[in-house]
Structures are given as C-alpha cells and as structure tokens.
Structure 1
C-alpha cells in the first residue's frame, strides 16, 4: 500500500491459562467487535485461534505479541497491542 497507512486497532488480550510445565498459554482476544480464544503451545511454536471467523486478521499480530512478551505474561493479566489492518 504505497502512500497509504493501514488503520490501527487496539486488541485487548486476557491470559486465562498458563502452564510452563505443559508449555501452553491460553486466553481471549477482542478487537473491533470480534472475539477469539487462543492457545499457544510455545514449545511446539503452534498457535490455535478459534473461531475461524476473522482469524486471519489477528493471527500474525497475536503470534508476534505472544513471542515478544511471553515471559512477561501472567495468568489473569490483561494486555493490549496494536493491530495494523483493516477489520
């Protein structure tokens, strides 16, 4: 998109599950009226996001956020990150 910038949307994330022993982090994400649940199996570098409706909008940004902040995230914690895409 030369010359144009993608709009920014704030995504709200809540961590509901965290197990270092099992290698899994799970939670919920909300952005622009959409809501998803996710599980990140960090030992296998596998991210599962449901439902499939709108998943492509959040998948890459969520994965980058989780990888960048994994050791700072806590179960029960609320977090935000910016999406740069059209929702």
Structure 2
C-alpha cells in the first residue's frame, strides 16, 4: 500500500506583545516565503493580519493556533505549528 504524503508547511510565530487588560496579543508569523504581522483581539475573536499578500493562506490556521495556545503564549516567545498546505 502506498501512502501519498500530504504537503506541509511549518509556520513560525513570535509573540511581540500582549495586554490582558485590553484582550490583545501581537506578533509576527513566517511561513514559506511569507512574513506577516498580526494582532489578535481575543475578547472579540478578531484576528488582523498584515500585509494582505498571502493573508488567505495563514489567517485560518493562525487563528486556530492562537485559540488553542493563547494562555501559554509569552512575549518574546517563539512557537511553531504545521499547516497542511505547501506555501
């Protein structure tokens, strides 16, 4: 039996700041040839990612990662997660 390996890209996340009082986490994410800055307002469930180039590739997987990991994320921390797509 032959299994075809699914494409995978590792996204690297760096948290640059957070403010629990305002309900906000900010950071940078890099995947493949793309680099973005993000701001996640977790109380409203709003994630903004800039620049717009390639944003559709990262917005949903980054949102899932942040929702699952939010209380464990520290400013200056480096994190990574896998995306089932090739960038």
Unaligned runs of 5+ in 2: none
Q: TM-score, normalised by structure 1?
A: 0.92
Q: Superposition RMSD on alpha carbons, in Å? A: 1.3
Unaligned runs of 5+ in 1: none
Alignment pair present for 1:54 and 2:54: yes
Q: How far apart, in 2, do the equivalents of 1:5 and 1:71 lie? A: 32
State the aligned residue count: 85
Structure 1 outlier segments of 4+, above 6 Å = none
Q: TM-score, normalised by structure 2?
A: 0.92
Name the SS of the counterpart of 1:74 in structure 2: coil
User: Post-superposition shift, 1:5?
Assistant: 5.5
Q: How far apart, in 2, do the equivalents of 1:57 and 1:24 lie? A: 22
